[in-house]
Copies of this chain bind each other. A is one copy, B any other.
């Protein structure tokens, strides 16, 4: 099968995390990474060295809030959830992503 795992394109990781939190509501980093990988049919794989620094940045920016809890597997884990500011940021990033990928599509589909 040609399902080679791929890198996350720079600039899209925050958007993918924020969107995952809309779906998951309240989740730890590991679960967010799993969700992205599964929802993308194993194409997108978020590495730990990308994930945790990104979550830190988003905490500082106030896009997510964090709380230590017990995971469903009885482990200590840091659960994240969207803040109102995070929702606004997600909307901005989605809008921008769609504008840019639409523009790229025009170029690469030009006959």
Residues of A within 8 A of B (CB): 6, 9-12, 15-16, 19-20, 23, 36, 39-41, 43-44, 94, 96-97, 99-104, 106-108, 110
Asked whether A107 lies within 8 Å of B6 as measured between CB atoms, the reply is no
**How many copies of this chain sit in the oligomeric assembly?**
2
Asked whether A19 lies within 8 Å of B108 as measured between CB atoms, the reply is yes
- Return the 6 tightest CB-CB contacts between A and B, nearest first: A43-B103, A40-B103, A10-B10, A39-B107, A44-B103, A19-B108
Cα–Cα, bound, A102→B41 (Å) = 10
Asked whether A104 lies within 8 Å of B11 as measured between CB atoms, the reply is no
Asked whether B16 lies within 8 Å of A104 as measured between CB atoms, the reply is yes
- A82 to B: closest C-beta gap in Å: 14
